């Protein structure tokens, strides 16, 4: 009998009311997981969980209004998952916006320029920080961050959107050490353009960029990539692209440090002793952070 990895797992999903987030929530529930959805789109969020619960014939999904730019909303979402379903095993940080995606020619407006970064970048960073704490408390887990192929290969006319996604891809690649500290893995899925309401948030001329490059990717391809990153214990700090034609590929990070080491005659840039010292200090700091967070 094949073991179902997702059975009885609890997943927190931001931006789960519709589109990719809803599709991942649906796939997880079909795999016998439970989901806790956070979003600012309240009506669709409620409709989504009602649909999931009705289909399952029991409560397998909960919704809570969540602004991912606010720690209080994020901590409340994860606490709801713990109080309702006993803990958190999986996290899909998917909330994002496409408004004001190319600000160079816009008026000098602090609020407008920072809006997309607060949601797409800072929202991911904050969600990761809260998520890691609750997954570590559970004993293990996985976080998947929604990036974009535009964060890997920026296009013209979507400048700040590209930057917001490139930042979270780098963020996801920054925590390979975390698996040894607390058994938590962080990865990123980078979809090509998917034909959803989100894509229609881009103006007509910007959408023509995607249409001219390739057909849109299927949402099912993105879902498959997300579940793969959640389940496969060997995927850690990895970036998967979800492309048209049902193609899922690993996008490797540039090997600049390795090239530098090679140019220097294979002399390590950092000694093993220093790395061991850093890991020991990080583990100590991590334990202190956990105690401080859960004593609040």
Q: Is residue 121 pLDDT above 60, yes or no?
A: yes
Report residue 134's pLDDT band, with 50, 70 and 90 as the boundaries: very high
CB within 8 Å of 185: residues ≥ 6 apart: 141, 142, 143, 178, 179, 233, 235, 236, 237
Average pLDDT over residues 174-180: 95
Q: What is the pLDDT, as a whole number, of residue 100?
A: 80
31-40, 170-179, 182-191, 193-202: range with lowest mean pLDDT: 193-202
In angstroms, what CA-CA distances link 203 with 82, 209, 289?
Answer: 40, 11, 43
- More confident: 147 or 260: 147
SS3 call for 262: helix
Average pLDDT over residues 33-60: 98
Report residue 268's pLDDT band, with 50, 70 and 90 as the boundaries: low
Q: Is residue 210 pLDDT above 60, yes or no?
A: no
pLDDT digits 0-9 by tens, 101-114: 788 999 999 999 99
Q: What is the pLDDT, as a whole number, of residue 96?
A: 95
Q: Is residue 172 pLDDT above 60, yes or no?
A: yes
**Do residues 36 and 11 touch, judged by C-beta distance below 8 A?**
yes
**Fold entry, domain 10-253:** Rossmann fold (3.40.50)
* pTM for this prediction: 0.93
Q: What is the pLDDT, as a whole number, of residue 156?
A: 83
- More confident: 276 or 48: 48
Q: What is the pLDDT, as a whole number, of residue 274?
A: 87
Q: What is the pLDDT, as a whole number, of residue 199?
A: 59
What is the CB-side half-sphere exposure of residue 176 using CA atoms within 13 A?
10
In angstroms, what CA-CA distances link 133 with 23, 62, 94, 127, 235?
Answer: 26, 21, 18, 10, 20
Q: Tell me how far apart the alpha carbons of residues 19 and 15 are, in angstroms, rounded to a whole number.
A: 9
pLDDT digits 0-9 by tens, 47-80: 999 999 999 999 999 999 999 999 999 999 999 9
DSSP bridge pairs for 14 = 38, 93
Report residue 213's pLDDT band, with 50, 70 and 90 as the boundaries: low
Q: Is residue 176 pLDDT above 80, yes or no?
A: yes
Average pLDDT over residues 273-285: 91
Q: Is residue 27 pLDDT above 70, yes or no?
A: yes
Q: Count CB neighbours of 104 within 10 A.
A: 8
Q: What's the mean pLDDT when you consider all of the chain?
A: 92
Q: Is residue 200 pLDDT above 70, yes or no?
A: no
Average pLDDT over residues 129-141: 98
Q: What is the pLDDT, as a whole number, of residue 203?
A: 57
Report residue 204's pLDDT band, with 50, 70 and 90 as the boundaries: low
């Amino acid at each position: 009998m094949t073991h179902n990895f997702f059975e009885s797992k609890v997943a927190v999903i931001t931006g789960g009311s519709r589109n990719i987030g809803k599709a991942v929530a649906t796939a997880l529930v079909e795999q016998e997981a439970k989901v806790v959805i956070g979003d600012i789109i309240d009506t669709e969020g409620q409709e989504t969980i009602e649909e999931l619960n009705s289909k399952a014939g029991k409560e397998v999904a909960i919704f809570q209004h969540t602004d991912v730019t606010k720690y209080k909303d994020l901590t409340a979402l994860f606490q709801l998952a713990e109080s309702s379903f006993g803990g958190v095993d999986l996290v899909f940080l998917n909330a994002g916006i496409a408004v004001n995606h190319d600000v160079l020619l816009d008026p000098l407006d602090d609020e407008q320029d920072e809006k997309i970064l607060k949601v797409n970048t800072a929202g991911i960073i904050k969600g990761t920080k809260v998520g890691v704490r609750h997954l570590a408390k559970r004993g293990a887990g996985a976080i998947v961050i929604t990036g974009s192929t535009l964060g890997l290969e920026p296009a013209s006319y979507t400048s700040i959107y590209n930057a917001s996604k490139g930042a979270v891809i780098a963020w996801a690649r920054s925590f390979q050490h975390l698996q040894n500290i607390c058994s938590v893995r962080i990865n990123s899925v980078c979809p090509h353009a998917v034909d959803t309401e989100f894509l229609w948030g881009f103006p007509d001329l910007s959408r023509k960029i995607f249409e001219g490059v390739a057909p849109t990717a299927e949402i099912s391809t993105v879902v498959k990539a997300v579940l793969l990153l959640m389940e496969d214990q060997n995927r850690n700090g990895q970036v998967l692209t979800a492309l048209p034609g049902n193609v899922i590929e690993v996008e490797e990070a540039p090997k600049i440090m390795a090239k530098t080491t090679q140019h220097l005659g294979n002399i390590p840039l950092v000694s093993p002793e220093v790395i061991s010292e850093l890991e020991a200090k990080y583990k100590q700091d991590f334990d202190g952070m956990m105690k401080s967070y859960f004593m609040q």
